[in-house]
Structure 1
Amino acid sequence: MTARETQMAVAQTINADGASPVVLVCEHASCFIPDALQGLGLSDAAKVSHAAWDPGALGVAVRMSDRLDATLVASGVSRLVYDCNRPPEAAGAMPVKSEIFDIPGNADLSVDARAARVAAYYAPFRDMLAQVMASKPAPVLVTIHSFTPVYNGAPRAVEIGILHDTDTRLADAMLDRGAAHTQADVQRNAPYGPGDGVTHTLQVHGVAHGHPSVMIEVRNDLIQTEAQQAQIGDMLSEWLADACAQLNAEGVRCRA
């Protein structure tokens, strides 16, 4: 397998020629664990649990890609192999525990083993996303995630989270326009926020370059079926376009 083929296997672009300045990202699109890692020592149930990926998120992101004619960059491996929304130095990049699940294959990784994971799984994704962002004259970064309705035994009331890092512009506009698009329980920086280390992609590919950016979290019981994913994807596309129009009216270059 060539270096390019390897890169495509661990990260992919969907609708690479999309005309929209929006760049969609799905860091936790897949629960695939390469054979060489021997399943990370996980049970079959753990391998497909919410700890391993974001169920429904890719379906929502693909629908948004279609609706907006936007390029989508998605990781091709489980976030337990490498969480592409974490920097290499973060413990959560290759977690030894995720909620109730121990990850035996990530325990006691050597410096060299961690570096090999970074090179094999994070660098191709990071570089592919950077290339896509650089190809747009005024990119707008939107990352799509899902979260479990019950975490460590505690139910979560929030249904859609609008997350941001230090650049709040797009999140503010989405929250301002939210009631026009959904009756869901929408909250800022919930169920996670910057303090939880979840805004790495926004920081590196959005904030650092002055590009408007937002992370959208959808509770995964709302996007279990293809029909639900399409419905939420359509709603989010219209909501995002409305928020971008508001920012444009305020003098911020932002178009969906």
Structure 2
Amino acid sequence: MTSEEERGLLTSRDAGPVDIVNRDGRGGFLLLGDHAGNAVPEQLEGLGLSKADMMSHIALDLGVADIGRLLARVLDAPFAAQRYSRLVIDCNRALSDDEAITPMSDRVIIPRNSCLQPAEREARAEAIYRPYHRAIADLLDERSLRNRPTIPVSLHSFTPTLAGDARPWHIGVLYGGGDERFATEVLHALRLEDGLIVGDNRPYQFDDTDFTVPYHAIAAGLPYVEIELRQDEIATSDQQAHWATLLAQILTSAAQKIGIQSTSAQ
């Protein structure tokens, strides 16, 4: 057996699917990045896309990896980030959803996603999707064993325009079902900030296409929030630092208002 030998879809030259930052963080949050990365397994040959495509919003949620790491430090919270592109497999979709491996995104055809056989879909699920969700479940179990109250915070970003339509919101707060108290507190606090256009389930509606929060938070009765940041708001390090500071303050305050005390590294 050589170091080059394949282990399913991923080889020894491929990174593991999940990057966990600050695993033992003691703060009251678990930060999640379903679309934080844009890696592609070597065997999939870049999915047949250009480097520009793989650096664009169709391949990943731009800025989320950086925001997540900043928040992990400020909030002393773990951050579980998917390293592989949403175009390989979308970890915020049920495996039964046809869009879990989409053949097209924002009018761009994904050549290696066309006419996939069931075995090919299963290989992506086994190598990338299931390890990510097992990692989240393990983090929640670890924190429960340590009696650490936990609020999952799912971090996403969205492009300023989609299919030619401008999207005016600076940030969106998504929620729908389960314990919505925390999400609505976050929404209220953001709306008090001068100059911010805040979307209430905008630019996306939280619905049955979402998987991560319903599966890990709503099913367990945990308070939660899914946050969408507009990508031109978090394009630079200064912007990212600003948003990390603001979100840390708002998340901490919202947790306290629903009776969950959060420690902070500040």
Give the TM-score of the pair, scaled to structure 2. 0.89
Letter in 2 for 1:19: R
Instruction: Could you list the structure 1 runs, at least 4 aligned residues long, displaced by more than 2 angstroms after superposition.
Output: 5-8, 179-183, 253-256
Are 2:238 and 1:227 aligned?
A: yes
Residues 182 and 235 in structure 1, CA contact (< 8 A), matched pair in contact too: no
Residue 43 of structure 1 and its aligned partner are, at CA, apart by 2.0
Give 1:126's aligned residue.
133
Residues 149 and 156 in structure 1, CA contact (< 8 A), matched pair in contact too: yes
The alignment partner of 1:9 has SS state of coil
How far apart are the structure 1 equivalents of 2:137 and 2:78? 12
Of 18, 36, 53, which aligns to 2:25?
A: 18
Matches within 5 A, 1:128-167: 128-136=135-143, 137=147, 138-167=149-178
Give 2:225's aligned residue.
214
Give 1:36's aligned residue.
43
Are 2:76 and 1:65 aligned?
A: no
Residues 171 and 198 in structure 2, CA contact (< 8 A), matched pair in contact too: yes
Measured on the aligned residues, the alpha-carbon RMSD in Å equals 2.0
Letter in 2 for 1:35: E
Of 231, 245, 249, which aligns to 2:256?
A: 245
How far apart are the structure 1 equivalents of 2:22 and 2:98? 33
Are 2:228 and 1:184 aligned?
A: no
Residue 19 of structure 1 and its aligned partner are, at CA, apart by 0.6
How far apart are the structure 1 equivalents of 2:261 and 2:41? 38
Are 2:101 and 1:101 aligned?
A: no
Residues 191 and 197 in structure 2, CA contact (< 8 A), matched pair in contact too: no
The alignment partner of 2:43 has SS state of helix
Give structure 1 stretches of 5+ with no counterpart: none
Residues 176 and 207 in structure 2, CA contact (< 8 A), matched pair in contact too: no
Are 2:93 and 1:86 aligned?
A: yes
CA displacement, residues 143-164 of structure 1 (integer Å, 9 cap, x when unaligned): 1111000000100011100001
The alignment partner of 2:85 has SS state of coil
Letter in 2 for 1:140: I
How far apart are the structure 2 equivalents of 1:204 and 1:225? 32
Of 102, 115, 118, which aligns to 1:111?
A: 118
Residue 180 of structure 1 and its aligned partner are, at CA, apart by 4.1
How far apart are the structure 2 equivalents of 1:247 and 1:141? 14
Residues 28 and 83 in structure 1, CA contact (< 8 A), matched pair in contact too: yes
Change in CA separation of 1:31 and 1:89 when aligned onto 2, cut-off 3 Å: same
Matches within 5 A, 1:168-207: 168-181=180-193, 183-195=195-207, 197=209, 199-207=210-218
Identity fraction in percent? 32
Letter in 2 for 1:23: L
More helix by share: 1
Change in CA separation of 1:77 and 1:141 when aligned onto 2, cut-off 3 Å: same
Give the TM-score of the pair, scaled to structure 1. 0.92
Residue 194 of structure 1 and its aligned partner are, at CA, apart by 2.2
Letter in 2 for 1:95: T
Change in CA separation of 1:8 and 1:48 when aligned onto 2, cut-off 3 Å: closer
